[in-house]
Amino acid sequence: MAKGRMALLALVAVGTIVLDQIAKSYIVDRMRLHESIQVIPDFFSITYIRNPGAAFGLLASSSAGFRMLFFALTSVGALILLSVILFRLPKNDWLGQFSIAAILGGAVGNLLDRLRLGEVVDFLDFYMKGYHWPAFNVADSAISVGVFFLVLHFAFEKQEAGPATEQS
């Protein structure tokens, strides 16, 4: 992979981490836990919560020790897997590489919270009528967007070459 491309992918991943951590620090420093500021009436608020569990609060009721071990192992495993996928993608696969870089940045952003706080800071709170989407953060957004584009990319990937043939 070319140095320029690696630098751009590193910028995506590190930029995601920095933006995520700055946003979370701003929320923690300026809001009280569970405080909510309405931004768009009946649709969007900034609400400071902490999520000790996984996505949507899964494992939140498990012991802190179990959660820390579980998230440490799964995070390290995911980071290794994503790195392997990144380096195995074709050199001209910009969308795949960009998607992996966004997922990596988001994963590291949430991992930093878990290591520092034992839980993840969430604050983006969307709702409509009686439906309330679980609050999330910048890192979660990067992971979701990265996964979405990666799945689309792999689902619609065209084989440029025909089936592999053996040569004698």
CA dist., res. 98 & res. 8, Å (int) = 9
Residue 83 contacts residue 104 (beta carbons within 8 Å):
yes
Instruction: For residue 106, give both structure tokens.
Output: 């988001």
CA dist., res. 87 & res. 103, Å (int) = 14
In the block, residue with structure tokens 């999330």: 136
Residue 123 contacts residue 30 (beta carbons within 8 Å):
no
Instruction: For residue 155, give both structure tokens.
Output: 């689902």
Residue 17 contacts residue 24 (beta carbons within 8 Å):
no
- Catalytic residue numbers read 122, 140
